[in-house]
Amino acid sequence: MGQFTETNLLAGISLVTEKYQSSEFRMPDTAALSSAYVGEKTNTSLTDLRNREDRATYYDFPVRKGQGSATERTALHTGDSPGSNRAQVTYKSVIDTFSLSKKQLDNNTISFEQAFANGVRSCIMNNLKDADDWYLAQLLLDKTQINVGGGRGEWDAINYDYKLTQSQKDYWKEQIEAVMSNNEYNTELLIIADSLAWADMTRSLNQGVGNSVNLGYQFGGGEIVKTSKQILNNFDGSTIAIPMDQTGLFQWIPRENRQPIDMRAAMSGEVGSFGSISVPVADDKGAVKYTIDAAMSMYAKRTDTSSLNGNKQDVLYQVELSWDMGYISAPLSSYRATGDFAGKTDSVVYTFGLSS
């Protein structure tokens, strides 16, 4: 017999620190989502009107009357009546689930509490990524088909993007503001920029008064948000530009979830419990811009989890985290859909790309 060889420890095992978990659990990019206007957008809250997932919700709005044909004052003048319109909100559900058994971690360096927390954290991260991707996609689907242009570039009447010439690489914001002004938007702008456009703007922003060429004058107002996601294809940088607070999201969870979850009930049987948790949405600098109430559903069921590092006689917990979002942009009529723009759709969402 060897001296004490039979009782040697087989391996030295330790759990990594929270700092060394940070790369695995790095937060998804929610820059676009953080820029969504989350204030009330209708006189009666659409969130309150939506009692259940299958209830349709609409919003009404007045529309601008078109230009009449009168050229002089007359005694019996006539004119067209102003009108109104109605639009439906389409909702998107972001949902992720995980499971964990009662005995799965009895013989493990990771505790049940740690594994449960990581499951919740993973679901939140997955849902945030899904939500940000969806919001960015809605903006692109909603981009205007009407743009009078006027900047140093050209309007792509097929893909509905404004293409800036390469010579304007240092003048992104100036050219965006010029085009938006020509379309009668003279308010502060929200600009969502991809990595290339953001790098160009950052360089220009830092060319201030103390430099031989001062480019910083462009950046006086509005907000520029950096997303790591590609906005437009085949451009040397691209952006979305919107008049401030003119697009946004409604957040919604079922009524049964608008309360803290009862963990005792959640872990006691198939009825389980419905509740909610608060999810922070961070901007491109990591600062929390607002929070989302996420619906949490959880129940328990006896089952054999021996194939999952559990036990033949075990309890399996099933957990779901979700929320619904409704996209809305400031409603526009067909007032400008005339001439070359006949039959086109107007919108407050504009896209810009720098020609390659």
Residue 1 confidence (pLDDT): 45
pLDDT per residue as tens digits for the range 268-323: 999 999 999 999 999 989 899 999 999 999 999 999 999 988 889 999 999 999 99
Work out the average pLDDT over 175-183. 95
Q: Evaluate whether residue 34 is within a structural domain.
A: no
Residue 4 confidence (pLDDT): 45
- Per-residue pLDDT at 214 exceeds 60: no
Residue 7 confidence (pLDDT): 45
Residue 27 confidence (pLDDT): 79
Mention every residue, 6+ apart, whose C-beta is less than 8 A from residue 309.
Answer: 104, 105, 108
Helix 195-205 and helix 172-182, axial crossing angle in degrees, nearest 10: 100
Residue 22 confidence (pLDDT): 61
Q: Evaluate whether residue 100 is within a structural domain.
A: yes
Q: Evaluate whether residue 4 is within a structural domain.
A: no
Cα dist from 353 to 117, 165, 236, 254, 325, whole Å: 42, 9, 7, 40, 28
Q: Evaluate whether residue 207 is within a structural domain.
A: yes
Domain total in the chain: 1
- Per-residue pLDDT at 186 exceeds 70: yes
pLDDT per residue as tens digits for the range 132-167: 999 999 999 999 999 999 999 999 999 999 999 999
- Per-residue pLDDT at 73 exceeds 80: yes
Q: How confident is the model at residue 250 (pLDDT cuts 50, 70, 90)?
A: confident
Task: Identify the weakest region by mean pLDDT among 14-23, 87-96, 276-285.
Answer: 14-23
- Per-residue pLDDT at 3 exceeds 60: no
How far apart CA 234 and CA 5 sit, in angstroms, is 65
Residue 25 confidence (pLDDT): 60
Work out the average pLDDT over 55-62. 82
Work out the average pLDDT over 218-229. 80
pLDDT per residue as tens digits for the range 188-206: 999 999 999 999 988 887 6
Q: Evaluate whether residue 30 is within a structural domain.
A: no
- Per-residue pLDDT at 348 exceeds 50: yes
How far apart CA 346 and CA 356 sit, in angstroms, is 27
* Segments forming the whole domain that contains residue 301: 88-356
Name which residue leads in pLDDT, 59 or 275. Answer: 275
Q: Evaluate whether residue 77 is within a structural domain.
A: no
pTM summary value: 0.87
> Other C-beta atoms within 10 Å of 209: how many?
7
Share of the chain above pLDDT 70, in %: 87
Name which residue leads in pLDDT, 56 or 124. Answer: 124
Q: Evaluate whether residue 78 is within a structural domain.
A: no
Residues making up the chain, counted from first to last: 356
CA 162 to chain centre: 23
User: With 0-12 CB in 10 A as exposed, 13-18 as middle and 19+ as buried, what is 20?
Assistant: exposed
Mean per-residue pLDDT over the chain, rounded: 87
Residue 58 confidence (pLDDT): 84
Q: How confident is the model at residue 89 (pLDDT cuts 50, 70, 90)?
A: confident
Q: Across the strands, what pairs with 96?
A: 321
Structural contact between residues 291 and 274, judged by C-beta atoms closer than 8 angstroms = no
Q: Evaluate whether residue 50 is within a structural domain.
A: no
Which of 352, 337, 317, 310 is closest to 107 using CA atoms? Answer: 310
